[in-house]
Amino acid sequence: MSSKIEGVRAREVLDSRGNPTVEAEAWTKNSVARAMVPSGASTGVHEALELRDKDARFMGKGVAKAVSNVNKTIAKKIVGMDCTEQDAVDGFMIELDGTENKSRLGANAILSVSMAVSRLAAIEEGVPLYRHIGRLSKNKKFLLPVPSMNVLNGGVHAGNKLDIQEYMILPAGAKSFREALEISAEVYQNLKTVIKEKYGKDAINVGDEGGFAPPLSRPEEPLDLIMAAIEKAGHEKKVKLGVDAAASEFFEQDKNGRKAAKGNYVLEGVELTPGRLMERYGQMLDSYPIVSLEDAFSQDDWPAWSSFTGRYGGRVQVVGDDLLVTNVKRIEKALKEKACNTLLLKINQIGSITESIAAARLSMESGWNVMVSHRSGETEDPYIADLAVGLGAGELKAGAPCRSERTAKYNQLLRIEEELGNKAVYARMF
């Protein structure tokens, strides 16, 4: 049997923020595959545990323990398993870990092997990774996703005063992914000009996800700048907007340390009840072509989520990131509470490919949309591009069309689109 795993090995490498992360390699007699794990900054409290050494190396951020867990604990036991049996490999690692949040071996350790093994299986089967993921998820409808490109960064991803974390463009009116990328790059370059003209050349530095991070604080100002850039580029008819508030980060306390009463938010230094925050979002939805709003409320503010979805869920994607953490149990609760209508799928929030696919399938079968997502700390691994196509998700959020850890994903989609030829379908989402 050539798909028998002969070995697994991990190492510590650096991510796009210059912090350590786990890279794993898995091999059979004839093939070898490699994968790298991303890392978040605005992480949800319910995410699976990213194991960090918390010692003197790398300011405590080393992942030597996670690497050792792969090399000394997982590797020995996985050798001999069939790499095409992803369920069995992941199930085995989950059992070996034995905790609810993968805190013994580390979600970063388990995910690195899970990703590498799935890529190895694709090589063994002689198919591209997205086709193998299609098989694993029982999806035959490959879709080139509409990208959500974070062109203006705030929150914990930028050194400015913006509380809202991500302002995105979605080139939903393109006819192909190639055209979508071209449109986005043109809007991005025009945005640079718009910012430079208004705030000077010191304002065009970029944040963690490659979007500009000018010295703004009013939450609506980025939307005005982006609308001006879209118009300047002549793409008004083809581009919609998306926002990730990442509101867990300004719940009861903002990034500048300003505190609010229990249950309230701090936006632009002003304390808001969930109801007032909802009104503010409502005004934004009325004034701009926003089709997607993520983490509008904090991760456990269920009543606010449900009331917002009841009121606006018919006209906008209500995306759960910190709320759902790619976890089937939390998705089930959100379905029951009608708390949102779209899953943000981040593989390292849950820590294995099998569980990520289960989260996507449950969401799709329940009538939700699925947006596959990067993390703010990324790597050059384009895995999530194949994942989005293979799942038929129709949406991928991977940052600005700038910085190689972001463009790695978009450039991979160009290759996949080319490979699919006249069978390539650009998703119609909005």
> Catalytic residues, which ones?
209, 346
Partner touching 376 among Mg ion, ligand PEP, none, CB below 5 to 8 Å by kind: ligand PEP
Report whether 216 contacts 407 (CB < 8 A): no
Contact mark string toward Mg ion, 189..228, x via CB under 5 A:
----------------------------------------
Nearer to ligand PEP, 136 or 164 (CB): 164
Phi/psi of residue 427, nearest 5 degrees: -60, 140
Among 25, 97, 249, 321, binds Mg ion (CB under 5 A): 321
Nearer to ligand PEP, 246 or 318 (CB): 246
Nearer to ligand PEP, 41 or 96 (CB): 41
Residues 6+ apart with CB under 8 A from 54: 60
Phi/psi of residue 17, nearest 5 degrees: -95, 0
Task: Please tell me the distance from the alpha carbon of residue 214 to that of residue 204, in angstroms, as a whole number.
Answer: 6
Give residue number: closest CB to ligand PEP.
Answer: 40
Select from 115-123, 259-267, 320-328, 399-407 the region that touches Mg ion (CB under 5 A): 320-328
Report whether 100 contacts 79 (CB < 8 A): no
Task: Please tell me the distance from the alpha carbon of residue 248 to that of residue 267, in angstroms, as a whole number.
Answer: 12
Asked if residue 249 binds Mg ion (CB under 5 A), the reply is no
Select from 28-36, 123-131, 191-199, 321-329 the region that touches Mg ion (CB under 5 A): 321-329
Residues of this chain that bind ligand PEP (CB under 6 A): 40-43, 244, 246, 321, 373, 375-376
Residues 6+ apart with CB under 8 A from 68: none
Q: Work out how close the CB of 331 gets to ligand PEP at its nearest, in angstroms, rounded to a whole number.
A: 16
Mapped onto helix, strand or coil, the DSSP state of residue 45 is coil
Length of the chain: 430
Asked if residue 381 binds Mg ion (CB under 5 A), the reply is no
Nearer to ligand PEP, 243 or 304 (CB): 243
Q: Which of 118, 123, 120 is nearest to 136 (CA)?
A: 118
Place of tokens 């192909």: 176
Residues near Mg ion (CB under 5 A) are 244, 295, 321
